[in-house]
């Protein structure tokens, strides 16, 4: 039992030492905080855009809102709501033909620069790639 306690203490001390040695940048890399609020063009359709906003930008997780816009297809227009958690994102768009829910991943510039440059979504109807 004493050996187990010594091992636990060693693990905690090692982890804390690594964090202290690497500094605050390591902590920021461990807890991903995205920056993504913008109007995002569809990588596969120049007439299609998705406006994503959040009052929780700069936090690890939160709620998003916005709208979908399309220049010539009225079926691809509607309000959206959703959520994000780290790099995971989910949006539901209220289209005239029925709601569609997309789930996906946000792709940042790098591990150090958390500005999102691409979002890749899938749904039961189609895939969506938003790229800045």
Provide the 3-class DSSP secondary structure of residue 13. Answer: helix
Q: What is the pLDDT along the chain (132 residues), one digit of tens a residue?
A: 566 566 666 665 665 565 555 554 444 445 566 678 899 999 999 999 999 999 987 788 999 999 999 999 999 999 999 999 989 999 999 999 999 999 999 999 888 888 889 999 999 989 999 998
CA distance 68 to 2: 60
- Check if the beta carbon of residue 85 is closer than 8 Å to that of residue 105: no
**Where on the phi/psi map is residue 86: left (φ > 0), alpha (ψ -120 to 50), or beta?**
left
Query: What pLDDT was estimated at residue 7?
Result: 65
Q: Tell me which H or E stretch contains 17.
A: helix 2-22
**Beta bridge partners of residue 78, listed in sequence order:** 68
**Half-sphere exposure in the Cβ direction for 31 (13 Å, CA):** 8
Question: What is residue 132's predicted lDDT score, i.e. its pLDDT?
Answer: 84
State the pTM of this model: 0.73
């Amino acid at each position: 039992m004493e050996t187990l306690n010594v091992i636990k203490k060693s693990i905690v001390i090692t982890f804390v030492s690594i964090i202290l040695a690497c500094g605050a940048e390591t902590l920021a890399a461990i807890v991903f905080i995205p920056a993504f609020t913008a109007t995002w063009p569809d990588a596969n359709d120049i007439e299609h855009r998705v406006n994503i906003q959040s009052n929780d930008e700069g936090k690890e997780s939160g709620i998003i809102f916005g709208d979908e816009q399309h220049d010539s297809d009225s079926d691809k227009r509607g309000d959206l709501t959703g959520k994000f958690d780290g790099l995971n994102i989910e949006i539901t768009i209220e289209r005239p033909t029925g709601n569609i829910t997309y789930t996906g991943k946000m792709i940042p510039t790098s591990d150090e620069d958390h500005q999102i440059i691409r979002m890749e979504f899938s749904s039961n109807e189609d895939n969506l790639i938003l790229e800045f």
